[in-house]
Amino acid sequence: MSTNNHTNHTNNHPPILLSIAGFDPSCGAGVAADLKTFAAHNCYGIAVVTALTVQSTQGVKTVHPTSASVLREQLDALAGDMNIAAVKIGMLGNKANAAAVAEFLDKNRFAHVVLDPVVSPSAGDAELLDSGGIRFLREELMKRATVITPNMREAALLSGLEVKDLAGMKAAALKLAEIGAKAVIVTGGHLEKPLDLLYENGELNPFGGDHARSENTHGSGCTFASAVAAQLALGQQLREALILAKAYVFKAIEKSYGIGKGPGPLNQLFRFHQEPPARGVHDIPQHGMHPAAEPAAH
């Protein structure tokens, strides 16, 4: 039998995707959103937590980063144990964690790395990355990713340009490419007419969309980046990955439900929805429930 560490016993498993992100106790964003999204794409998700946050649907109150040494140990333990098809990076918390992740990427050379440069929350005033971390992300981490997926506010912060419309999105994407990003998707879900912009191989392509009829958008950026990572791991080209991820997020917002007092989370698992059985109808498993369910031995 093969002793190769990168195979499991059957050699028949879905792509393994790694999320490196913060933990949101309301489970709408961060690693929880990523893991649900990976599962929805028939991939197996593993996760390394960069920070614990105190947050709900009403916003982020405080952030408590994981120590960089523990983060490094978590990452090395996983990479030494399994074959990771794609990595999705979200919130990092501080510069030390961003540097640990850069080291990890240099050591392992993954086929697909999607970097969602999460810097500040859409609600709440907690900082999700310190100023040294933002500088490191711009100068070092960005160039190590296959694609970065900033929203308009993040694209403005990283490029130093004003980003209010498609022209601003284009200018920011070109600037980020100049700084070192290989490919950029600027997400414009907050525009009157939602629009995402892809920069790849020197070309700029806008992708239009419709507004989902729901305010429940908590975690939409995390979910989009994770869906892109999943599609890349499943063999799609970046352009197709963007189109498919966009359609998935639209549906996950449309099928969402409000669970808190703020904007609710997406329903990443909308495809798994099952109707409850009619009253009085129950499927009782016939085997393995209780010794009485087994045929009597003769």
The domain spanning residue 84 has which CATH number?
A: 3.40.1190.20
Q: End-to-end CA distance of the chain: give it in Å, rounded.
A: 38
pLDDT at 9: 42
Letter for the amino acid at 190? H
For residue 77, what pLDDT band results from cuts at 50, 70 and 90?
very high
DSSP reduced 3-state for 96: helix
Domain residue limits at 68: 16-271
pLDDT at 192: 76
Q: Report phi then psi at 186, rounded to 5.
A: -90, 120
Average pLDDT over residues 23-36: 96
215 lies in some domain: yes
**Rounded distance between C-alpha atoms, residue 23 and residue 198, angstroms:** 28
For the cut 70, the answer to whether the pLDDT of residue 294 exceeds it is no
289 lies in some domain: no
120 lies in some domain: yes
pLDDT at 5: 44
Placement of tokens 């080291």 in the chain: 103
List the structure tokens of 155.
């694209």
Nearest Cα neighbor of 38 from 55, 20, 63, 52 is 20
Evaluate whether 242 touches 184 at the Cβ level (below 8 Å). Answer: no
Write out the H or E segment, with its range, that includes residue 48: strand 44-56
51 lies in some domain: yes
H helices present in the chain, as ranges: 30-40, 68-79, 95-108, 131-136, 152-159, 166-179, 220-233, 238-254
For the cut 60, the answer to whether the pLDDT of residue 264 exceeds it is yes
Letter for the amino acid at 40? A
For residue 289, what pLDDT band results from cuts at 50, 70 and 90?
low
**Rounded distance between C-alpha atoms, residue 83 and residue 128, angstroms:** 29
For the cut 90, the answer to whether the pLDDT of residue 112 exceeds it is yes
Chain centroid to CA 176 = 20
For the cut 90, the answer to whether the pLDDT of residue 276 exceeds it is no
Write out the H or E segment, with its range, that includes residue 28: none
pLDDT at 140: 96
**Rounded distance between C-alpha atoms, residue 175 and residue 192, angstroms:** 24
The greatest distance separating any two alpha carbons of the chain, rounded to the nearest whole angstrom, comes to 80
Evaluate whether 17 touches 38 at the Cβ level (below 8 Å). Answer: yes
Chain centroid to CA 296 = 51
Evaluate whether 153 touches 120 at the Cβ level (below 8 Å). Answer: yes
Average pLDDT over residues 269-287: 72
Q: What global pTM score does this model have? A: 0.89
249 lies in some domain: yes
**Rounded distance between C-alpha atoms, residue 225 and residue 211, angstroms:** 18
Q: How many structural domains are present in the chain?
A: 1
278 lies in some domain: no
158 lies in some domain: yes
Count how many Cα atoms sit within 13 Å of the Cα of residue 241 in the half-sphere of its side chain.
26
Task: Say which residue, 17 or 215, is predicted with more confidence.
Answer: 17
Task: Say which residue, 167 or 8, is predicted with more confidence.
Answer: 167
On average, the pLDDT of the chain sits at 89
Bridge partners for 276 per DSSP: none
Those residues with Cβ within 8 angstroms of residue 109's Cβ, 6 or more apart along the chain or in another chain: none
pLDDT at 212: 83
**Rounded distance between C-alpha atoms, residue 89 and residue 114, angstroms:** 6
Average pLDDT over residues 171-176: 98
For residue 214, what pLDDT band results from cuts at 50, 70 and 90?
confident
For residue 10, what pLDDT band results from cuts at 50, 70 and 90?
very low
For residue 123, what pLDDT band results from cuts at 50, 70 and 90?
low
Average pLDDT over residues 18-38: 96
Burial of 14 (0-12, 13-18, 19+ CB in 10 A): middle
42 lies in some domain: yes
